[in-house]
Amino acid sequence: MQKRVLEVIPEEGKPIVIFLMLTGCRPGEARALKCKDVDLEKRIIKISATFSGGIYREKRKGKKAKNAIIPIHQELYPYIKDRVEENLPDAYVFTNPKTSKYFSKSKLEKLWASIREKVGLTKDVRLYDATRHSFASQLVNKGVSLLSVSRLLGHSSVKMTERYAHSDIEKLRVDVNSLSLSDDKIYDINVTNVSLK
């Protein structure tokens, strides 16, 4: 589905949507990202602010939220490098090309609604679900530790990240269902003599 989403993203929305898909950032955090938050030499980004509606807040969402440091994904590096090198430190990394201002919440929501409609997703699939939740679930399914996923998401504890392990359970369900007692390879098993204790 992600490949289909990538095919239909309008050019002006590609940088921010791809960033969300490859970092797991919250949309408000991506909208608030400034050039000064990027360290090109170390190839890291400091997530330290968010937009709450139209209000820029110099604090991440959550009571105990601290700044999060995330690596710049190699596929994002060329775009981010260009933005940072060509702009002042207080410039936003992702801007609306029509206004040259930060992406507003409504602009991002309209962009996502258009993408969602083109790929046939229902209205209950939010951008947050398709990016942050998908990012975390995919990493868990690939065997990345919950600790690493937690750090990438900027969670204050692994406990918060455990909700993404549900996708791991689904993978385990598929794995375990690949076994079958009705398979032609299994003959005459006498289960009355088997102890499950």
Average pLDDT for 142-147: 84
pLDDT of residue 191: 40
Which domains, ranges and CATH numbers included, belong to the chain? 2-174 (1.10.443.10)
27-60 pLDDT, tens digit each = 999 999 999 999 999 999 999 999 987 899 998 8
Residue 47: its H or E element:
strand 44-47
Identify the CA nearest to 16 among candidates 95, 113, 129, 89. Answer: 95
pLDDT at 189: 40
Residue 171 pLDDT level (bands cut at 50, 70, 90): low
Q: How far apart are CA 56 and CA 32, in angstroms?
A: 7
pTM: 0.79
> What's the start-to-end Cα distance of the chain, in Å?
43
Q: How many CA atoms lie within 13 A of 45 on its CB side?
A: 28
pLDDT for res 196: 42
Give the count of alpha carbons within 13 A of 195, CB side only: 1
Contact 77, 43 (CB under 8 A): yes
Confidence (pLDDT) at 105: 93
